[in-house]
Amino acid sequence: MLKLYDVTVRSRLLLGTARYPSPAILAEAVRRSKTEIVTVSLRRETAGGKAGGAFFEMIRALGVRVLPNTAGCHSVQEAVLTAKMARDVFRTDWIKLEVIGHHDTLQPDVFGLVEAARILTAEGFQVFPYTTDDLVVAEKLLEAGCHVLMPWCAPIGSAMGPVNPQALRSFRAQFPDVPLIVDAGIGRPSHAATVMELGYDAVLLNTAVANAGDPVAMAEAFALALEAGRLAHAARPLEPRDMAVPSTPVIGKAVFA
């Protein structure tokens, strides 16, 4: 079981709700993934518009917990206001805090992130910060009151998977008691399994499922990979070696020549 602030969940997958071929496929992918937490966002509503309401009702019907995000915010002020507006709509203190610092890489502005995290925790929010694998920034986020950290493993939507496994290893070792969720950059179930083998607590992803040829099947594939990776971590995997080591014992081997 995974404890995120005061909530305990069984599933290790947090699933985004964007870019699916249809609302029906999104709903089925959520069900097959067995996720208990989905991310949502806020956007300008047109006068008389019903789009937001329809989406809101659909998510409610799925019976999962929502984690609103501040996606697209490039300043502390924007992110803080978006978080407050999200709390007003979704009635949760949870917020996936994104303060974007770079247009092309969507790399977090970690200075703004720490500042926004400080402001929001003081206002009673439970912050899930989308951050880099920088250890010093992570320390500052914990000092700011975050009890969960969400380092990227590659740029958002890039599907590259863990580009710097060593950094993720150090990050895990540095914060053994903090729930760590890899957020962004996962492209395949094998990537998710890899970070779980490194000891991460959960994975947040969206595009890897939503843009797959069959999002529903891929949702299930990720659920299985997460379980396999977690089990493997608990079972303590072998470390790679430089040379071959025979797996069949040589003692008692027949000598024919």
Partner 1 sequence: MTLIINGEEQDVAATTLAALLDVLEYEGEWLATAVNGELVHREDRAAFTLGERDRIEILSPMQGG
DSSP string of 212-245?
A: SSSHHHHHHHHHHHHHHHHHHHHT-PPPP-SS--
Report the residue number, 5 or 56, with the smaller CB distance to partner 1. 56
Site string for partner 1, 28-47 (x = CB under 8 A): -----------xxxxxxxxx
Based on CB atoms, which residue is closest to partner 1, 81 or 231? 81
Residues 86-125 that bind partner 1 (CB under 8 A): 86, 88-90
- Binding track over 205-244 against partner 1, x by CB under 8 A: -xx-------------------------------------
- Tell me whether residue 16 or residue 162 sits nearer to partner 1 (CB atom): 16
Minimum CB separation of residue 204 from partner 1 in Å reads 8
Provide the residue count of the chain. 257
* Two tokens, residue 220: 């299930």
Which has the closest alpha carbon to 135: 164, 105, 95?
Answer: 164
Residue with the two structure tokens 């070696």: 241
CA 246 – CA 253 distance, rounded (Å): 13
Residue 176 identity (one-letter amino acid): P
Q: Is the dihedral of CA 38, 155, 179, 41 positive or negative?
A: negative
Residue with tokens 């501040």, as numbered in its chain: 70
Does 24 sit near partner 1 (CB under 8 A)?
no
Residues 15 and 223: their CA atoms lie apart, in Å, by: 11
Q: Measured from the CB atom, is 86 or 144 closer to partner 1?
A: 86
Of the residues 85, 122, 224, 234, which one makes contact with partner 1 according to CB under 8 A: 85
**What residues act catalytically?**
96
Residues that bind partner 1 (CB under 8 A): 16-20, 26, 39-53, 55-56, 59, 68-69, 71, 77, 81, 84-86, 88-90, 156-157, 206-207
